[in-house]
Structure 1
């Protein structure tokens, strides 16, 4: 059984990318499996690769969707675990203290304006950075990290805007309302900490510069 060359393995990787296997970590695992199968087939490499993709395209896409779903679950679990750490509660306390100080010496509306500015800037920066990364390094995205952002960024938007109006209408102390705003900002920070950790972990694991 003839082993595939590095150039041929790269061709397998590209073939998987072409049928929609976008995340690098999943593609690497599927490339290894595909390469082993192709090595056991007869004929020229090009013919074997084409035959493998044609016969397994449906199953490959199905597996990719399952792997992506598992990545989403793993990412959310890690995010939740990061929210039950001393670091998260220290961030929450610091953000609350900042908002409370503004509320104490100014007005409640001034404190909520800080919240809105932070949320608007953060969401804008997220989409700009995410767009740049997807454009410049589209072949080097990791499933767990990217699925985390895709799943929870919409939640952040709902928490920052529609739910804010509901909170503001509640007949509770303004200082208590600030706790909600502090939590939303801290939650967003936790997302970025988790995303950064996942990206560094997978870059190290798959030796991506």
Structure 2
């Protein structure tokens, strides 16, 4: 007993209206629900999809929503695994060293206020990275909402906040040791942001390819 395309779409719409908003997660759950309903319809030898579906949801909706939350946790884990993989790239230490000596060069050749002003712009790099990778790439292609893609907002927000703390600490940049600490931390944060941007682009392309039929 196979479900029609209209039945599959009905399940998908029902789940979306039940706050299973991410297309990739919904696809996984739809496949599971459709298979179970097909089995029930075959066992009872009925073609009444809607009544079978209603009874199934009465029994299983709570568990399906719980599964949705588990999928979201898996999405977060996938992001951090991809991020850690990006950190071990040979380019990562090169980015850090370039940033470190670049900021230190600015400190040596400009006054402290200019140095602090440049540090204050570092959070905007992370914000710009998110805008470019999510708003421009994702929205311009009119893709569906994907769990990993949207969950990327959290690490971007974290890395946006860290430089603001450093900016306030930069008022204490009165000796070389303190300056080197500030330069090192800012360079590290900038490196993490750039790695996250690269990871985001790779994840976006991966999801676009994997779920091309949902685009």
TM-score > 0.5, shorter chain as reference: yes
Determine if the alignment matches structure 1 residue 160 to structure 2 residue 163: yes
Which residue of structure 1 lines up, in the alignment, with residue 23 of structure 2?
24
Counting matched residue pairs gives: 206
Contact 1:9 1:31 in 2 (8 A): yes
Residue 202 (structure 1) aligns with: 207
Secondary structure of 1:140's aligned partner: coil
2:123 to 109, 119, 122: 119
The answer as to whether partners of 1:4 and 1:35 remain within 8 angstroms in 2 is: yes
Is residue 76–residue 151 contact of structure 2 (8 Å, CA) maintained in 1?
yes
Distance 2:112 2:102 in 1: 12
Are residues 84 and 118 of structure 1, via their aligned partners in 2, closer, same or farther at CA, if it must alter by over 3 Å?
Answer: same
TM (normalized to structure 2)?
A: 0.81
Mapped to 2, the partners of 1:184 and 1:149 lie a distance apart of 16
Map 1:156-195 to 2 at 5 A. Answer: 156-166=159-169, 168-169=171-172, 172-195=177-200
Match of 1:40, SS state, is: helix
Query: Does structure 1 retain, via aligned residues, the 8 Å contact 2:12–2:30?
Result: yes
* Secondary structure of the structure 2 residue equivalent to 1:183: helix
Q: TM-score, normalised by structure 1?
A: 0.83
Secondary structure of residue in 1 paired with 2:20: coil
Matches within 5 A, 1:1-209: 2-42=1-41, 43-120=47-124, 122-123=126-127, 126=130, 140-150=144-154, 152-166=155-169, 168-169=171-172, 172-208=177-213, 209=215
CA deviation after TM superposition for structure 1 residue 190, in Å = 1.3
Contact residue 115 and residue 185 of structure 1 kept, 8 A:
no
Pair member with larger Rg: 2
Give me the whole-angstrom Cα distance separating, in 1, the residues matched to 2:193 and 2:54: 44
Report the Cα distance in structure 2 between the residues aligned to 1:106 and 1:198, rounded to whole angstroms: 39
RMSD (Å), alpha carbons: 2.8
Residue 112 of structure 1 contacts residue 181 of structure 1 at CA under 8 Å; is this kept in 2? no
Secondary structure at the counterpart of residue 85 of structure 1: coil
Deviates more, 1:118-127 or 1:34-43: 118-127
* CA-CA distance at 1:110 after TM superposition: 1.7
Say if 1:3 and 1:27 are closer, same or farther in 2 by CA, change over 3 A. same
Contact 1:118 1:185 in 2 (8 A): yes
